[in-house]
Amino acid sequence: MQSTMLKAKLHQARVTHAVLEYEGSCAIDGNLLDMAGIREYEQIQIYNIENGQRFTTYAIRGEEGSGIISVNGAAAHLAEVGQRVIICAYAEYTEAELINFKPRMIYMAEGNEVSHTANAIPVQVA
């Protein structure tokens, strides 16, 4: 049996560009891709914190150290420059792979700088 699990997450990244006249995809700073373990052309889900929009696209490698998060093509209608988004990648894992499985979570600060990383989501009690 295989399970679909969260592989990686860039939490509260800021959109730096929204380019409608583009073929599609989301350009992400190459350093962030490497840190998260997201491959170029890998399918990603983007969740817009500001307006609740959720959409699927694929990652393309942006310039390392640029902090770029560019939502391109039709998805540019769903995210504006300055809005906060969560970018997630999922993968299929076997039961054996899940024994020591931990996702890579990258938490973003202003300017798309990394504030910290984790491999577990803290439980918050209301």
The 3-class secondary structure across 55-97, one letter per residue, is: EEEEEEEECCCCCCEEEEHHHHHCCCCCCEEEEEEEEEEEHHH
Residue at 61 is within a domain = yes
Give the count of beta carbons closer than 10 Å to the beta carbon of residue 60.
19
Residue at 67 is within a domain = yes
Residue at 124 is within a domain = no
**Per-block mean pLDDT, blocks of 10 residues, the chain (126 long):** 95 97 92 97 98 97 97 95 98 94 95 91 66
Residue at 102 is within a domain = yes
Residue at 76 is within a domain = yes
What is the residue range of 65's domain? 2-118
pTM, rounded to two decimals: 0.93
Q: Are 40 and 107 in contact (CB under 8 A)?
A: no
Residue at 45 is within a domain = yes
Amino acid, single-letter form, for residue 96 = A
3-state secondary structure (DSSP) of residue 15:
coil
**What confidence score (pLDDT) does residue 119 get?**
85
Residue at 65 is within a domain = yes
CATH of residue 68's domain is 2.40.40.20
**What confidence score (pLDDT) does residue 125 get?**
64
d(CA 38, CA 33): 5
Task: Give ∠ CA 103-108-111 in degrees, rounded to 5.
Answer: 150
Residue at 123 is within a domain = no
Q: Which residues are annotated as catalytic?
A: 25, 58
Local structure of residue 111 (DSSP, 8 states): G
Give the total number of structural domains in the chain. Answer: 1
Q: How many CA atoms lie within 13 A of 94 on its CB side?
A: 2
